[in-house]
Every structure is written in structure tokens, then in C-alpha cells.
Amino acid sequence: MSSFYDRMGALSGKLMNRFGAPATLTRKTAAEQSAYDPRTGKTTVIPSSVVTLPCLAVAKPRTTRLDNGILHHDTVMTLTVEPTVGDEISQGERTYKVEAVEAVAPTGVALIYRAVVTL
């Protein structure tokens, strides 16, 4: 079974290389206060930071029919790097914000990641 998933992992990489478009994932961390130091009488602040990761991504629309019959439209991005909720993904002239993340990991090792995004 392991060799099957190894082949599927290699295949997903080949497909992303062929059909994925270059994208940039941007993760912003907020400034945090660390513990109060009684010796100095100060509270140190860990500054905010911005991390950018290049990746490949494919964006496609998805329609879901809810229980009450209403159609709900989403955009789902398939990515080669793991996003977190709140990250931004820039692809071409569009910038998406990540709302939900799912790893495709049939054996516990992620092959690709899917993110529900909004413009």
C-alpha cells in the first residue's frame, strides 16, 4: 500500500508542476507581548513579521447545495504548501484570503493542501 501512495504523491507533484500557476503565500504574525521581567521592570514585545512562501496553486470554483436548497459558491485553491486560516495567497493580479484548510493525506503524510478562499 505504501508504494501506491508514494506513486500518488509523485503524480500529484507532476500534476501541480504541469497545471499549477505560480503563487505567493503571505503569512502575517501579529506583535505579541512576552512575560513581564521584574528585574528590568519592562514587558518585552515580540515584533510582528511577514513570511512569504512561493508555491504552485490551482484555483477553481465549487458549488455546494445546502440543506435548505440554497446554492453556496466557493473558490477552492489546491496548493503545494500548507496554508493557515488568515493567510493571503497572491496569484496573478488576484489576492485571496484563506478561510478553511484541508490536507489531502491518505496515509498521514500530506500530498497537497486545499483551501477555501475569498477575494
Cα separation, 19 vs 56, in Å, equals: 9
| Domains assigned to the chain | 2-118 (2.40.10)
Q: What is the pTM of this model?
A: 0.75
Task: Write the pLDDT tens digit of every residue in 66-119.
Answer: 778 888 888 999 999 999 999 999 999 999 999 999 998 888 888 899 999 998
Q: β-strands 88-91, 42-46: how paired?
A: unpaired
25 close to 83: Cβ distance less than 8 angstroms: yes
Cα separation, 112 vs 87, in Å, equals: 17
Residue 47 has pLDDT above 80, yes or no: no
